[in-house]
Structures are given as structure tokens and as C-alpha cells.
Amino acid sequence: MELNNPKVKTSKKGRTSRAPIVNGDGIMSLEECKKLLGEYNLTDQRILDIRNNLIGIVDSVLNTYLEGFK
């Protein structure tokens, strides 16, 4: 177990998981997306399109949810 590695997170139940590799903007890198989607044999551009569309969906959902607290 890599206790001092900041990329490894431990949950309250003691499980470990790797934190996604993100760029300076806090966005998951293409390399990390490739690891997650590698079995689908997608082009880099398609992977970036999927990532960016997911970012847009999550942003919209969170903004709609948070509007309820105003």
C-alpha cells in the first residue's frame, strides 16, 4: 500500500483507490481517460469529446441542483 502517495486515496472503509490524474485546470488528462476507455479502441479526439461532454453534463446537473439552495 502506498501510504505517502498523494494519488492514492483511502476511503472511510479502508479501501484504496487511485485519484485521477488531472492537468493544471483540474481536468482529467487524456492519458487517464485512455486508461478508463482503452478497451473501446477510441481515437484521442473521441475520448476528449466524451470527457468534455461529461464535464458539460455534470456542470449542468450541479448548477441546476445548486440553484435550489438560493
Strand, helix or coil for residue 22: strand
Distances (CA, A) of 29 to 22, 35, 50: 5, 10, 12
Domain parsing of the chain, residue ranges: 22-67
CB atoms within 10 A of CB 21: 13
Place 70 in a pLDDT band, splitting at 50, 70 and 90.
confident
Q: What is the pTM of this model?
A: 0.63
Residue 22 predicted with pLDDT over 80: no
pLDDT digits (tens, 9 = 90+) for 32-63: 999 999 999 999 999 999 999 999 999 999 99
**pLDDT score for 20:** 61
